[in-house]
Amino acid sequence: MSPRPDSPAAEAGVGQGPDGLVIRDYGSSESISEMTSLLRDAYAHLARQGLRYLATHQDDAMTARRLGRGFPLVVYLEGRLVGTATLYPPRYDSPVPWYRRPEVFYFGQFGVRPELQRRGIGVRILRALEDRARARGATELGCDTAVQAEHLRSWYAREGFRVVGETQWAVTNFRSVVLSKTISPG
């Protein structure tokens, strides 16, 4: 699968931290199967709670479709894929009114390998998403998660997100809260 021609994958966008963590734009050399596996692993604890996020069961074709609709990031540590997220531009046909707004970019397919969660990698991915959204003119960064996922809602609140709505996706078995964070213009 090739990224969108106007996606960040066509840009350099490499950032390496002192710990060797590399956050960069998705490239055509990435393995879709590896991305799917990473997402399933990252969301497995939510599946065990009975929450049917799309990432808990999506196949490679769905992963490719979701990557192709946005600006995906990949995260590597010591040459191993350990995280990902996809930034999406405003979608004027979205069932979520907040995601239709021209100043709002939102993200999904956000995951970190389970054994590396709670080590700051997610925060670093979030900062990269903010930077990329800001560079595209966004003043809000949105996302959504299960109403029942209190630990995720608390984490997002600590990161400056507020609740701006709710939605029910056709592919999930739960209602989602729609969250957003104001980001300063670029």
pLDDT digits (tens, 9 = 90+) for 153-171: 999 999 999 999 988 887 8
Tell me, what DSSP letter sits at residue 55?
Answer: G
Segment 34-42 mean pLDDT: 95
Nearest to 17 by CA among 156, 130, 127, 115: 127
Tell me, what DSSP letter sits at residue 148?
Answer: T
pLDDT digits (tens, 9 = 90+) for 98-139: 999 999 999 999 999 999 988 889 999 999 999 999 999 999
Query: What is the band of 186 on the pLDDT scale with cuts at 50, 70, 90?
Result: low
Integer Rg of the chain from CA: 15
3-state secondary structure of 29: coil
Beta strand residue intervals within 113-174, DSSP E: 140-146, 162-168
Q: Would you state the pLDDT for residue 4?
A: 34
Segment 45-64 mean pLDDT: 91
Number of H helices, E strands in the chain: 5, 8
- Give the C-alpha separation, 107 to 25, whole Å: 14
- Give the C-alpha separation, 7 to 27, whole Å: 10
pLDDT digits (tens, 9 = 90+) for 9-36: 333 345 555 578 999 999 888 899 999 9
Of residues 63 and 176, which shows the higher confidence score? 63
β-partners of residue 99 are none
**What distance lies between CA 72 and its chain's CA centroid?**
8
| Per-chain mean pLDDT for the chain | 87
Q: State both tokens at 164.
A: 């701006």
0.85 exceeded by pTM: yes
β-partners of residue 111 are 84
